[in-house]
Amino acid sequence: MVPLGIKELFTCKLTSIITIMPTIIKANTKDFAKAITLIGKTIPALRKLGNVKVSVLPNDITIYAPGIEQTVKAETEGYTDMMIPFRLLYGIAKTDKRDMLILTIIDGQIDCGGYTLASSIIKLNTVFSKKEIDLPVNSAKIDILSLRARYSPEQLREYKMLLEIESAERQLEKALLQALIYLEPYGINRNDLDELIDNKITERL
């Protein structure tokens, strides 16, 4: 084995620290609930199925959903972009009665102070580790759809991918509506198809 130099050792240690460092959010529970409730009312389907992007910055968090975004003032540690199933945030907003909401988030789970919510969808990506859009050669449409879960809105704008993603989402919606015409008689509903798509997107993460 070739001994690591000082630079390589520092890089390994820094990468390890970034990987295990949790993101902590401290926010007024009423402010958080107000933002989540508004998104839930605007897009009711998200309450059962669907993910939202959460950007965590020094003085606030912003929750992004299709056609709407909400910013909540917060004390934060570990500045990241992450995908979270909306139903988890909606559940927290409706059940947590403390004045101050404290969330500790790592890949795969949210600790709410007394109880933990788990989902493989939850992935943290430090906002300081800028990376270019990574797409395979001859990428499939599902690869395009997965970009919302892998990159922040700012990164997608910077690399001019939003129009391509929105086009893929419109095509998907049209295909799903068409598929339902043939599949509903067999007991397959829209939730079943949405779950299938979410699973396929998760495989790309």
pLDDT tens digits, one per residue of 191-204:
999 999 988 888 87
- Most confident stretch, 23-37, 51-65, 123-137, 141-155: 23-37
Q: Lowest mean pLDDT of 79-88, 89-98, 124-133, 138-147, name the range.
A: 124-133
CB 80 within 8 A of CB 23: yes
For residue 48, pLDDT over 90 is answered with no
- Most confident stretch, 123-127, 161-165, 184-188: 184-188
CB 58 within 8 A of CB 79: yes
Rounded Cα–Cα distance for residues 196 and 183 (Å)? 14
- Count of CB atoms situated within 10 Å of the CB of 74: 20
Beta-bridge partners for 75? 26
For residue 161, pLDDT over 60 is answered with yes
Question: Mean of the pLDDT values across residues 156-176?
Answer: 86
Question: Domains of the chain (ranges plus CATH)?
Answer: 22-129 (3.10.150.10), 130-205 (no CATH)
Rounded Cα–Cα distance for residues 122 and 105 (Å)? 9
The pLDDT-based confidence of 171 (bands split at 50, 70, 90) is very high
Question: Mean of the pLDDT values across residues 39-60?
Answer: 89
The dihedral built from the CA positions of residue 195, 113, 64 and 146, taken in this order, carries a sign that is: negative
Token readout for 130 is 């800028």
The pLDDT-based confidence of 3 (bands split at 50, 70, 90) is very low
For residue 127, pLDDT over 80 is answered with no
Of 69, 40, 72, 67, residue with least CA distance to 56: 72
For residue 34, pLDDT over 90 is answered with yes
pTM exceeds 0.75: no
Token readout for 92 is 């927290």
Question: Mean of the pLDDT values across residues 67-93?
Answer: 91
What pLDDT sits at residue 21? 78
The HSE-up count of residue 51 (CA atoms within 13 Å, CB side) is: 24
What pLDDT sits at residue 6? 38
What pLDDT sits at residue 24? 94
pLDDT digits (tens, 9 = 90+) for 180-193: 999 999 999 999 99
3-state SS assignment for residue 143 = helix
Beta-bridge partners for 103? 25
